[in-house]
Amino acid sequence: MKHFLFLLLTATASAAPMHVDLPTVMKLAGANNDEIELARVKHAESIAESKLAWQRFWPTLSLGVGYRGHEGRIQDVAGAIFDARKQQYTVGTAVVIDWSPGDLYYSALAAKQKAIAAEQLAEKSRRDIVMEATARYFDLLATEASVVILEDDLRLTQDYEKQIGGAVTAGTAFRADLLRVKTQVSRARLTIRQHQEKRDLAAAALAETLRLPPETELRPAKADLVPVRLNGKKGVASMLTDAVQNRPELKAASAANSAATFERDRARIAPLIPSVQAGYNFGGLGGGFAGDMGNFGDSQDFYAGLGWKIGPGGLFDKQRLVIAGAREEATVLQAGQIKAAIGREVVEAAAKSQSAHDQIAINDEAVTAAEEMAKLAKERQASQLGVVLEYLLAREELTRARQSRVMAVTDFNKAQHELKRAIGN
């Protein structure tokens, strides 16, 4: 992929337009976008936090060397105060356990679910960016196809202008007809320039999504302008079922709800489980009166204990339970909102797809009729039975019908990709 990106960026550095097809656009959108990388970074962070939560079960180990000295007054355990001069030094290790098993266990489970949610949100970001790139590619494709249609219409109109010019010179046509055709040529050139502007704007939008240099002159592969059905002929109910099973947003919401449930259990159960403090020190102790540095020997200390916390964060902390319960309920409500939004997306995409499919068939009929109308108008003009205006109107109608078909095919393909994303494929 890196080699592919290098070749693409090298090609875009030249002045020639860069032609891209849909697979290339989808690969670039998924490989070179900072929003996707940000989601991946957050996922990596959540994984690290999940691992750290489990690692808190390990005891801590420390190594140390110490020295302590004293001169002057001191009090013994019986209460007597006297002058003393002494020193000691220690060398050893310590193993310490300071556990709150309930908090550690449930926080680790919650952290794991949060990592799963972050993973699914990263996948959602990737799909969203790919969908945005796909839609902008089809917008660019539609404007390019419109420019081609208009240029074809301009070429035919210019040929017709030459024919009328010859007829005017021969005295078989009126100059007003020639001027009408010249006006149509100018209008066609103006329309072409307007659509070229739209094409350039669409190319800039696509380059932004692909994170290519803004001056990159992108052009689509024209062979992509065919209607492609991606989702078979499934019913809406079947697609809704697929969406519930496959959409990463719902998987993320489910994981977030599980995390909130573990947090609620943490607030409810963890305070009942006692905390554990234990330690073991092993090493050597030496020293004595005045400057005595001897008397070094083994020294061991160990301790263990259980405890319960009462109050905030512990037993009888009702507000913590209320907060945890409210957060869990919020995740359930959010999941319901996401599910409803996904259902709407599926229904809308299916409706758009079906409408665009029907419009393609209608536009095919319109193009066929407009082509025949333009042909008859040309024949009538050649036999002096018609007028120039009739032919120009017929050509205009044909161009409009062809452009309408381009938009119908574009809308159908965009709707198919939207539907594919909506059902989670």
Count of CA atoms in the C-beta half-sphere (13 A) of 23: 2
Task: Compute the Cα dihedral for 179, 181, 184, 190 and give only its sign.
Answer: negative
In a domain, 65, yes or no: no
pLDDT bracket for residue 383 (50, 70, 90): low
**CB-CB contact of 330 with 263 (8 Å):** no
For the chain, what is the HEC assignment? CHHHHHHHHHHHCCCCCEEECHHHHHHHHHHCCHHHHHHHHHHHHHHHHHHHHHHCCCCEEEEEEEEEEEEEEEECCCCCEEEEEEEEEEEEEEEEEEECHHHHHHHHHHHHHHHHHHHHHHHHHHHHHHHHHHHHHHHHHHHHHHHHHHHHHHHHHHHHHHHHHHHHHHCCCCHHHHHHHHHHHHHHHHHHHHHHHHHHHHHHHHHHHHCCCCCCCEEECHHHCCCCCCCCCCCHHHHHHHHHHHCHHHHHHHHHHHHHHHHHHHHHHHHHCCEEEEEEEEEEEEEEECCCCCCCEEEEEEEEEEECCECCCCECCHHHHHHHHHHHHHHHHHHHHHHHHHHHHHHHHHHHHHHHHHHHHHHHHHHHHHHHHHHHHHHHHHCCCCCHHHHHHHHHHHHHHHHHHHHHHHHHHHHHHHHHHHCCC
Q: Is the pLDDT assigned to residue 7 strictly greater than 50?
A: no
Please tell me the predicted confidence (pLDDT) of residue 200: 92
Q: Is the pLDDT assigned to residue 5 strictly greater than 60?
A: no
In a domain, 220, yes or no: yes
Looking up residue 247, the CATH number of its domain turns out to be 1.20.1600.10
Please tell me the predicted confidence (pLDDT) of residue 165: 84
Q: List all residues 6 or more positions away from 414 whose beta carbon is below 8 Å from its beta carbon.
A: 134, 135, 138, 352
Phi, psi dihedrals of residue 37, rounded to the nearest 5°: -65, -35
Please tell me the predicted confidence (pLDDT) of residue 156: 86
Range with the lowest mean pLDDT among 40-49, 211-220, 386-395? 386-395
User: Helix 248-269 to helix 318-382 angle, to the nearest 10 degrees?
Assistant: 170
Q: List all residues 6 or more positions away from 283 whose beta carbon is below 8 Å from its beta carbon.
A: 90, 91, 92, 93, 298, 299
Q: pLDDT exceeding 70 applies to what percent of the chain?
A: 93
Please tell me the predicted confidence (pLDDT) of residue 136: 93
Mean pLDDT, the chain, rounded, equals: 84
The Cα–Cα gap between 11 and 9 comes to: 5
In a domain, 390, yes or no: yes
* Section 317-334 average pLDDT: 91
In a domain, 5, yes or no: no
The Cα–Cα gap between 157 and 159 comes to: 5
Please tell me the predicted confidence (pLDDT) of residue 305: 85
In a domain, 384, yes or no: yes
* Section 314-324 average pLDDT: 87
* Section 321-339 average pLDDT: 92
- In our burial notation (b when 16+ CB lie closer than 10 A, e otherwise), range 312-322 reads eebeebeebee
Residues 94-126: tens digit of each pLDDT = 888 888 888 888 888 898 999 999 989 888 988
Residues 132-164: tens digit of each pLDDT = 999 999 999 999 999 999 999 899 888 888 888
User: Helix 175-210 to helix 388-422 angle, to the nearest 10 degrees?
Assistant: 10
Q: Is the pLDDT assigned to residue 84 strictly greater than 90?
A: no
Length of the chain: 425
CA-based nearest residue to 343, from 248, 234, 243: 243
Q: Is the pLDDT assigned to residue 313 strictly greater than 70?
A: yes
Phi, psi dihedrals of residue 22, rounded to the nearest 5°: -65, -45
Please tell me the predicted confidence (pLDDT) of residue 223: 64
Q: Is the pLDDT assigned to residue 1 strictly greater than 60?
A: no
The Cα–Cα gap between 4 and 210 comes to: 14
Please tell me the predicted confidence (pLDDT) of residue 62: 83
In a domain, 362, yes or no: yes
In a domain, 87, yes or no: no
Residues 193-247: tens digit of each pLDDT = 999 999 999 999 999 888 888 888 898 887 667 888 877 777 889 999 999 999 9
In a domain, 3, yes or no: no
Counting the structural domains of the chain, the total is: 1
Phi, psi dihedrals of residue 66, rounded to the nearest 5°: -140, 155
* Domain residue limits at 403: 19-59+101-276+310-422
Q: Is the pLDDT assigned to residue 184 strictly greater than 60?
A: yes
